[in-house]
A and B are shown apart, each in its own frame.
Chain A
Amino acid sequence: MKFGILVNEGPYQHQAADSAYLFAKAALEMGHEVPRVFFYMDGVNNANKLQEPQQDDRNVVQRWSELAESHEVDLVVCVAAALRRGIKDEILAPGFRISGLGQLVEIGVEADRLVTFGD
């Protein structure tokens, strides 16, 4: 099955960002496709490479980048939501790109299921 994923919450503050990652990873390991994860609302903060969690904690941003690299997942950050929150190209972690909300509608059309993680 082909899954699109929408992440609407930022990292560390809310479980949704972790759940989205764990879902995507599990789906890929089971042989499903996850062509794109779309980050909207506070979810855009998942792309901020300046984050430095404590060493004994998970690194939410870095593990998205690793997922993108190992499984060719397209990590798309909404431009309008990003600009509002100060997320710009120069602070994007590897694997992320900034684009428009059309990319969310597009993955909704393309995927068999679009799964939202948020409040």
Chain B
Amino acid sequence: MDEFEDDAGVIKRFMFVNRKAPHGTIYALESLEVVLISAAFDQDVSLAFLDDGVYQLRKDQDPAAVDMKNFSRTYRALEGYDIEKLYVCKDSLAERGLTEEDLVVDVEVLDRAAMARTMAEQDVVLSF
């Protein structure tokens, strides 16, 4: 659309905030779909995982028993899309008995205050 053409070249900081478990609802999967599309728009993209959202990155998922696709390996492919900034809430991990070693990708673990500061630096925050 014409009205958007003037913005070619604008780079904003987009953060996708993931707060829900990978299965049981579609939020995690459809969030990941937007993330992958955003990679094509040359924006500064980061992902944050909070609350039950930390389970999205858990190693050794096998959702076959509930007839769902295991899309967790897609998180490992994000690097290939130049999406390298993945932030995980330290407290959310600890509350669920998880550590960084339980996750499928390398992440930056932030406490809640640091996460809040990182969010405050964003231009666009999309929460799923």
A contact set with B: CB distance below 8 Å: 6, 8, 35, 40-41, 74, 80-81, 100-102, 104-106, 108-110, 114, 116, 118-119
Contacts and interface: CB of A to CB of B under 8 A. Distances in A.
B33 A80 contact: yes
Interface residues of B, number: 22
A105 B14 contact: yes
A110 B4 contact: yes
A108 B30 CA distance: 17
Contacts of A81: 30
A40 B38 CA distance: 15
Q: 10 tightest CB-CB pairs across the interface, nearest first?
A: A101-B37, A108-B124, A105-B41, A105-B38, A114-B124, A41-B30, A110-B4, A101-B34, A109-B10, A110-B7
B70 interface: no
Interface of B: 1, 3-4, 7, 10, 12, 14, 26-27, 30, 33-34, 37-38, 40-41, 43, 124-128
B69 to A, nearest CB: 13
Contacts of B40: 102
